[in-house]
Structure 1
Amino acid sequence: MQQSSSEQLRADVARMTGATAGHQVPASRSKTFTAAFADLVRGFGQYELWLQLGWQDIKQRYRRSTLGPFWITIATGVMAVALGFLYALLFQMEWREFLPHVTVGFIVWGFISGCIKDGANVFIENEGLIKQLPSALSVHVYRLVWRQFLFFLHNIIIWVVMVPLLGIPLTWEVVLALPALLLLILNGVWVAMFFGMVATRFRDVAPLLEALVQLAFYVTPIVWTTRTLEAQGGEVAAQARIVEINPLFHYLEIVRAPLLGNHVELYHWLIVLACTVVGIIITLIAMRQWRFRVSYWV
C-alpha cells in the first residue's frame, strides 16, 4: 500500500535527521543561553530538511491547481490594484504614485503578518513531527519563514511588472532593499519562535494575535500615507507623527521606500535594528526557559 503524505513526510524527516520514526533524541534541558542558541544553530544546519518541507508546503497547498503558487500573486495583485484605485480616489491622490505604494505595502505586509499569525501555530501544527522525530525546535520556525519568503518571491513579481509600466524611478538605493529583506527574515525567525512557544502554552494567544494583526493593518500606512495626513495641516498633521510609534511602520518603510525609488531616513534603520536586538534577546530568554517543554504542550 502506498504511504500517505504524512507518513512520507515523516520518512523524509527521519532520513534527513539520520533517525528512525519513533526514536526521539532527548532534547537538552540545560537552561542556558548557549543551549538556546545551539538549538538555532543546529536547526539552521538542517537546512536540507526545512528547505524541502517548506517547498512541500507550497506544493501541497496548490496540489491540483493549474496555476499553482501563482494564485498567490494573482490574489495579491487584484487586491492591491483594487484598493489602490479606491483609496487614490478617496484621498484624491495620483494613482500612478499611490498604486505602487499600496502594492509594495501589501507584499511586505504579507510576509510580516504571515510570520506573526502562522508563527503562533507553528509548533501546534507540527505536533506529530515534534513528538515522533528528532530535530531542533527551530527547524519548524525556519520552515515557516522559508515558506513565507517563497510567498514573498511570488508576490514581488507584481512590483517587477509595475516598474516599467508605471515608470517607478529606481535609484542606487534599491539595493538597500536586500539588507532590509534580510532583517525582515531575521525578525521573522524570532517572532515565529517567541509567539510559537507562547501560543503553544497559552492557546488564547493565537486568536488574539489574529485580531491584533488585523488592527495593525489599519494603523500602519499601507493603504494610506503619512503625507496625506500632513497635507491637511493643523492637528491632523501633528497626529500623523504618532504613526511612528508603530514599529511595523519602520519595518515596512526600510523595504518599501527603496523599491519605490525613495530615500530611507537613517532613524528607520536604527529603530528596526534596536527592535531586532531586543526581540532576539527576549526570544533567547524564552527559549532558555521553555523550548524543551514545547513537546509536552503540543
Structure 2
Amino acid sequence: MSAVVNDGGIPPAPQTSDSKTFARGIKDLVDGFRNSELWLHLGWTDIKQRYKRSILGPLWITVATGVTAVAMGILYGELFHQDIKVFLPYVTLGFIFWGFIETSILDGSVVFSTNEGLIKQLPAPTSVHVYRVVWRSLIIFAHNIVIYLILLVVFPQPLGWTALLVFPALLLYALNAVWTTIVFGIMSTRFRDIGQLLTTAVRLVFFMTPIIWSAQSLSSTGADASSRLKLVELNPMYHYLEIARGPLLGQHVALYHWLIVIGCTLIGWVAAMFVMRNYRARVAYWV
C-alpha cells in the first residue's frame, strides 16, 4: 500500500503518542480523583477485609496502637525520667503520625503488585489505586486519633488556636502520601527489591526519629548536645512529626519545620510527575 502524500508530494509526519507527556500524567491524577466513589469504596473494603470475622473489627487498629503507645510511653518515660503527663501524649502522637507515614510508604510500595487482577480487569486511571492507599491510611489515622482524645481528657494539654495547624499538617501528609505511593509504588512494581529495602529503611528511620525519645532531652546529655540536635534535624521525618505533633501538644512550631516539609513535598511531587510521565502506562505490564 502506497503512503499517503500531501499536495507537495511529501508524506505527512507520523503521528506520535502522547502517552509520555506531563499532560497525560496530570490527566490521570485528575481523572482518578474524580472517580472518588471507586477509591473510597476500595479503601473502606480493604479495612473491612483485613478485620473480617473479628469481634472488634477495625477497632483493633485503635487497640493495637493504643497498647503499644501507652506501654512504650510509660517504659521510656521511666527510663528517661520524663513527666508521664507530658511524655505519654508526646509518644502517643508520635506513634499515631508515624503510623500514617509508615502505612503510606509500605502499603503504597506494594499497591500495584498486590492488585494485579484488579488493575488488569478494571479500566481505571492508575491514580485510583494511589488515592485508595491514601484514603485507607486516613481511615487508620482516624481510628488512632481517638487514643489522643482519650489522653487529652486524662492529661489535659495547653491547647490554643494553634492546634488548628494540625489540619494543614494533615493536608501536607496526604500530599506526601500521594507522591510516595506514586514513586515507590510504580518503581517497586518494576524492581521488587525496592519494597524490601523500604521495609528495612522505615524500621531504621523509626529509631532515628524522636518518637519514643525526645529531641529536647538531648540538650541535657552533655557538651556535644548541639551537634546531636543538628544530626536529629538532618532527618526529614523529625520535621514532619513536629508540624503535626507540636500543635496538638500546645507547643510552638518553628517556621523552618514547615518550610522543610513544604520543600520535601515539592521535590517529591517533581519526582512523582516524572515517574507518572514515563512509567504510568507500563504498570499494567509490570504487575
1:163 aligns with 2:155: no
Correspondence for 1:102: 91
Uncovered stretches (5+) of structure 1, i.e. residues with no partner: 1-27
**What TM-score do the two structures reach when normalised by structure 1?**
0.89
Correspondence for 1:112: 101
Alpha-carbon displacement from aligned partner over 1:241-273 (angstroms, at most 9, x marks no partner): 211111111111110000111111100110111
> Paired residue for 2:270, among 265, 270, 281?
281
Report 1:82-97 matches (<5 A): 82-97=71-86
For residues 116 and 160 of structure 1, what CA distance do their matches in structure 2 show?
Answer: 26
For residues 285 and 135 of structure 1, what CA distance do their matches in structure 2 show?
Answer: 20
Correspondence for 1:129: 118
> Post-superposition shift, 1:30?
1.8
Q: Name the amino acid aligned to 1:77.
A: G
Percent same amino acid among aligned pairs? 55
Report 1:76-225 matches (<5 A): 76-225=65-214
Asked whether the equivalents of residues 40 and 136 of structure 1 are also in contact (C-alpha less than 8 Å), the reply is yes
> Post-superposition shift, 1:233?
3.1
> Paired residue for 2:58, among 50, 69, 72?
69
Asked whether the equivalents of residues 231 and 237 of structure 1 are also in contact (C-alpha less than 8 Å), the reply is no
For residues 179 and 227 of structure 2, what CA distance do their matches in structure 1 show?
Answer: 34
Q: Secondary structure at the match of 1:176?
A: helix
1:244 aligns with 2:245: no
Q: Secondary structure at the match of 2:124?
A: coil
Q: Secondary structure at the match of 1:233?
A: coil
For residues 240 and 278 of structure 1, what CA distance do their matches in structure 2 show?
Answer: 24
Asked whether the equivalents of residues 182 and 275 of structure 2 are also in contact (C-alpha less than 8 Å), the reply is no
Correspondence for 1:7: none
For residues 119 and 225 of structure 1, what CA distance do their matches in structure 2 show?
Answer: 28
- Give me the CA root mean square deviation: 1.0
> Post-superposition shift, 1:292?
0.3
For residues 65 and 30 of structure 1, what CA distance do their matches in structure 2 show?
Answer: 45
Q: Name the amino acid aligned to 2:46.
A: D
Uncovered stretches (5+) of structure 2, i.e. residues with no partner: 1-16
> Paired residue for 2:37, among 48, 59, 84?
48
For residues 203 and 18 of structure 2, what CA distance do their matches in structure 1 show?
Answer: 37
Correspondence for 1:30: 19
> Post-superposition shift, 1:29?
5.4
> Post-superposition shift, 1:237?
3.6
Q: Name the amino acid aligned to 2:207.
A: Y
For residues 129 and 29 of structure 1, what CA distance do their matches in structure 2 show?
Answer: 25
For residues 238 and 225 of structure 2, what CA distance do their matches in structure 1 show?
Answer: 18
1:255 aligns with 2:241: no
For residues 117 and 57 of structure 1, what CA distance do their matches in structure 2 show?
Answer: 15
Larger CA deviation: 236-245 vs 82-91: 236-245
For residues 18 and 209 of structure 2, what CA distance do their matches in structure 1 show?
Answer: 40
**What TM-score do the two structures reach when normalised by structure 2?**
0.93
Larger CA deviation: 226-235 vs 283-292: 226-235
The structure with the largest alpha-carbon Rg is 2
Aligned residues: 271
Alpha-carbon displacement from aligned partner over 1:16-64 (angstroms, at most 9, x marks no partner): xxxxxxxxxxxx8521111111110010000000001111111111111
